[in-house]
Amino acid sequence: MREPSLGGIVQTEQDRKRPLLRAGNMNCGGCGMSNIFQLLSHAVAGRDVKLVIPACCGAITAHTYPQSAFDVPTILTTFASAASVATGIAAVAGLNNEETRVICMAGDGGTYDIGMATLSAAAERNENILYICYDNEIYGNTGGQRSSSTPAGAVTTSTPLGKRENKKDIMAIMAAHRIPYAATVSIAHAEDALNKMRTALDTNGFRFLHILSPCPTGWKSEPAMGIELVRLAVRSGLFPVYEVFHGDRYVINIEPDFSDEALSMYLSLQRRFRKSGVTETSLRPGIDKYWHGLRMLSGRIVPARRH
Amino acid sequence: MPVELISANHGAGLAATLAGRANRTGRGFCCGVYPITPATDCMEYLCAQEIEKSKVVRVESEHSAMGVCIGASATGARSFTTTSSNGLAYMAENCVTAASLRLPIVLVVANRTMGPPWNIWADHGDSLMLRDLGWIQIYCADNQEVFDTVLFGFRLAENAEVMMPLMVCMDGFTLSHTIAQINVPEQDMVDRFLPITTVPHQLGSTPHALGQIEVAHQVASHRRQHHEAMEKVFHVYTDIQDEFQQIMDRSLPDPVVSYRIEDAESVIISMGTIGATAEQVVDDLREKGQRVGSLRLRMFRPFPMKSIRENLKTARRVAVIDRDISLGFGGVLWGEIKAVGSRNGLIIQNYMMGIGGGMSGRSIFAGF
């Protein structure tokens, strides 16, 4: 397994001097979103950035008025309107020839569910927005209810016996919009993550980053295990790490070892899968099927046929 | 000053266009637009304009139309949108944000019945549903008033002491689709009347957050500030009225338009186009020797209590005409008038007229 690392995230001259998310924020210990903000701080560097955050844990992160834990101009919006508010901001930046990068930071509820129409419309119009979905697979901010991103078998407060339906394939939906850039990001693979964040920040038009974001309270996992859990999800093939350019060029960035050991570890280190009896054996066919499709799309191993 | 023969919808679109151009040396002009009958034509008009330093975003819902306006206004641009009925209901959530973030967005509402069951005709139930959000609400009686109120509305909403969104309401079809003369000022006159937008709390380069969590005393304090700003609207209104008169060489009606009220024993109180009909009815009844007057409320929020009280000094009977109904209570306007107008011996009766676009002509008054 090839696993690029940063060798510890060291501040370089190109990096932003101050973190986007300052100390004293309201995030839980071990929140994946905190890690995402740390990585994003490095990727943003000297760029002018504005944040748009819908109702989600990110809306609490800033802490109370008048202080703000975000070190950039930030607007908190209603659940379903992040992409539309960002559209307005990006439009005015465009009118004034500003290089501002407008970043939406939204959870899976605001992305997969209530915000889907707004998100899809902004993607269709190819607005100049970077939309980041920190996917903790749960409505974390309301105490842990299922979203359409919650994987089958996961127990949430609204699916006490484990969710029955499979996770929605958000990347396929975004790719179908033929946006300039979409990528999945692993916070356990810092160098790959930074490259993607920089690519997304440098690209114009609608960009989408899908980031698996551990939620210790929702996943019933140890706060310190978050990054390791993401690493296991990537290793086992459960969370494929890839890029999609313009909806048709797929590039797989990290090759998993598809080990049952990694999958078993991933499941056993969280208590949310205990009740439903999901095992590595039950998950494997789904993972294999997804990867078969992904390889077809990426043209690797199984080349695309031309008639 | 050229005269255009256009509908109130196009008049509103034209006024927004002139207001947008007036901000070309500022941060620009941005609209989120989504069609809904009977406000659609205004949106179509905007989509056909080429406005310097502007962007019209064709969004997928009214919710997003207001979202775009919020984003644009939060970064300092002049922003405008239009809707009606269920569109306004769908937009309502973001209308709260626009108000609470004190963004000077102007929204034209072509008043229409809420559905289903579907009905597309005039009814004030839609905008009145949003009564308590912290928007200024102005109801117009003719096309010229709609045009002028859009220009005036930007000036009022963007005033530093006011700084809040404003709703220009016009009766669906009765005004929105009726063609009438509108005096249209030249761009340079609009430029003089409407200085560039400055949103003092806009997102610039300094890190600060708009709309993050507040604890109880902060919410209470912000509500109070908003309420106090609402109360300042009346004196700001008068100042802007004078400037409007000087630059445009015509007057803009007061928040309360009184008609033959001086010695009136009976007063008809209404909003929107019914107010224009009421004035004709007053003439009819005066000819019969009855001491009748009319009060047309142009401004509904903030509510012009003082002015209403002064105008009801000689009144013994008040007929409040509502083009709406608050189910389980009665007319919305009636409730408000009762709250401010009640005194010993004053009878305040409620009448519903034109609900769901029903008849509201002079002959209907005869039945009261």
Same domain, B261 and B343: yes
| 8 A C-beta contact, residue B33 and residue B9 | no
- Predicted confidence at residue B148, as pLDDT, reads 98
The fraction of chain A above a pLDDT of 70, given in percent, is: 94
| A19, closest residue in chain B (CA to CA) | B207
Same domain, B177 and B30: yes
Same domain, B277 and B156: no
| Contact assignment for A68 to B72 by CB distance below 8 Å | no
| A18, closest residue in chain B (CA to CA) | B207
Mean pLDDT of chain B: 96
| Contact assignment for B71 to A73 by CB distance below 8 Å | no
- Predicted confidence at residue A307, as pLDDT, reads 44
| Helix/strand/coil for A253 | coil
Task: Please enumerate in sequence order all residues whose Cβ is within 8 A of that of B240, keeping only pairs 6 or more positions apart, or say none.
Answer: B152, B155, B156, B159
pLDDT of A304 strictly over 50: no
Per-residue pLDDT averaged across B94-99, rounded? Answer: 98
One-letter amino acid for residue A114 of the chain? I
| A121, closest residue in chain B (CA to CA) | B60
A91 shares contact with chain B (CB less than 8 Å): yes
Task: Please enumerate in sequence order all residues whose Cβ is within 8 A of that of A250, keeping only pairs 6 or more positions apart, or say none.
Answer: A242, A243, A244, A294, A297, A298, A299
Tell me how far CA of residue B315 lies from CA of B7, B352, B362, in angstroms.
36, 21, 22
Tens-place pLDDT, residues B216-256 = 999 999 999 999 999 999 999 999 999 999 999 999 999 99
| Contact assignment for B209 to A75 by CB distance below 8 Å | yes
CATH of the domain at B158: 3.40.50.970
pLDDT band at residue B296, thresholds of 50, 70 and 90?
Answer: very high
Per-residue pLDDT averaged across B270-283, rounded? Answer: 97
| Contact assignment for A63 to B212 by CB distance below 8 Å | yes
Mutate to test the interface with B, among A95, A96, A100, A128 (most CBs of B within 10 A): A95
Answer with the one of B195, B221, B248 that is the final residue of a domain: B248
What is the spatial distance between Cα B118 and Cα B124, in angstroms, rounded to a whole number?
A: 15
Residue ranges with strand state E in chain B: 3-7, 29-33, 54-58, 78-83, 106-111, 136-139, 166-171, 179-183, 209-210, 256-259, 266-271, 292-297, 299-301, 317-322, 347-352
| Nearest chain B CA: its distance from A17 CA (Å) | 14
| Contact assignment for B67 to A72 by CB distance below 8 Å | no
Per-residue pLDDT averaged across A80-103, rounded? Answer: 98
A118 shares contact with chain B (CB less than 8 Å): yes
pLDDT band at residue A203, thresholds of 50, 70 and 90?
Answer: very high
**How many A/B residue pairs have CB atoms within 8 Å?**
162
Residue of B68, B204, B215 with shortest CB distance to A84 = B68
Question: Which residues of B are less than 8 Å from A92 in CB distance?
Answer: 27-28, 30, 55, 71-72, 75-77
| Nearest chain B CA: its distance from A105 CA (Å) | 14
Same domain, B130 and B35: yes
Given the structure tokens 């309270």, which residue do they identify?
A217
User: Domains in chain B: how many in total?
Assistant: 2
Same domain, B199 and B235: yes
Same domain, B196 and B330: no
Per-residue pLDDT averaged across A99-104, rounded? Answer: 97
Residue of A72, A91, A118 with shortest CB distance to B207 = A72
Answer with the one of B205, B226, B248 that is the final residue of a domain: B248
- Predicted confidence at residue A279, as pLDDT, reads 94
Tens-place pLDDT, residues B163-220 = 999 999 999 999 999 999 999 999 999 999 999 999 999 999 999 999 999 999 999 9
Residues 124-153 of A with CB under 8 A from B: 125
By CB atoms closer than 10 A (0-12, 13-18, 19+), residue A227 is middle
Angle (deg, nearest 10), helices B216-248 and B143-157: 130
pLDDT band at residue A3, thresholds of 50, 70 and 90?
Answer: very low
Residue of B27, B65, B94 with shortest CB distance to A92 = B27
Q: How far is CA B298 from the centre of its chain?
A: 8
Tens-place pLDDT, residues A155-202 = 999 999 999 999 999 999 999 999 999 999 999 999 999 999 999 999
| Contact assignment for B203 to A80 by CB distance below 8 Å | no
Per-residue pLDDT averaged across A126-135, rounded? Answer: 98
What is the span of the domain harbouring residue B172? Answer: 3-248
Per-residue pLDDT averaged across B135-153, rounded? Answer: 98
| Contact assignment for A85 to B71 by CB distance below 8 Å | yes
Question: Which residues of A are less than 8 Å from B93 in CB distance?
Answer: 78, 80-81
What is the spatial distance between Cα A285 and Cα A289, in angstroms, rounded to a whole number?
A: 6
Same domain, B260 and B159: no
pLDDT band at residue B368, thresholds of 50, 70 and 90?
Answer: low
Residue of B53, B64, B209 with shortest CB distance to A81 = B64
Same domain, B242 and B341: no
How many other C-beta atoms are found inside a 10 Å radius of the C-beta of residue A23?
6
Interstrand relation of B266-271 and B179-183 (parallel, antiparallel or unpaired):
unpaired
- Distance in Å from the first CA to the final CA of chain B: 42
| B92, closest residue in chain A (CA to CA) | A78
One-letter amino acid for residue A197 of the chain? M
pLDDT band at residue A12, thresholds of 50, 70 and 90?
Answer: confident
Same domain, B216 and B337: no
pLDDT of A1 strictly over 60: no
Same domain, B239 and B266: no
| Contact assignment for A65 to B70 by CB distance below 8 Å | no
- Predicted confidence at residue A9, as pLDDT, reads 62
Same domain, B290 and B243: no
Nearest CA among B156, B161, B152 for reference residue B200: B161
Give pTM, 2 decimals: 0.96
| Helix/strand/coil for A114 | coil
Answer with the one of B248, B281, B315 that is the final residue of a domain: B248
pLDDT of A305 strictly over 80: no
Tens-place pLDDT, residues A32-49 = 999 999 999 999 999 999
CATH of the domain at B339: 3.40.50.920
Question: Which residues of B are less than 8 Å from A84 in CB distance?
Answer: 32, 59, 63-68, 70-71
- Predicted confidence at residue A5, as pLDDT, reads 45
What is the spatial distance between Cα A178 and Cα A195, in angstroms, rounded to a whole number?
A: 21
| Contact assignment for B209 to A62 by CB distance below 8 Å | yes
| Nearest chain B CA: its distance from A142 CA (Å) | 15
Given the structure tokens 């519903």, which residue do they identify?
B352
Same domain, B310 and B171: no
| Contact assignment for A65 to B73 by CB distance below 8 Å | no
Residue of A62, A76, A84 with shortest CB distance to B71 = A84
Question: Which residues of A are less than 8 Å from B204 in CB distance?
Answer: 73
What is the spatial distance between Cα B56 and Cα A119, in angstroms, rounded to a whole number?
A: 18
Question: Which residues of A are less than 8 Å from B73 in CB distance?
Answer: 88
- Predicted confidence at residue A4, as pLDDT, reads 42
pLDDT band at residue A245, thresholds of 50, 70 and 90?
Answer: very high
Q: Specify whether the backbone of B211 is left (phi greater than 0), alpha (psi in -120 to 50) or beta.
A: left
| B67, closest residue in chain A (CA to CA) | A85
Given the structure tokens 């313009």, which residue do they identify?
A246
Mutate to test the interface with B, among A41, A92, A101, A125 (most CBs of B within 10 A): A92
| 8 A C-beta contact, residue B296 and residue B271 | yes
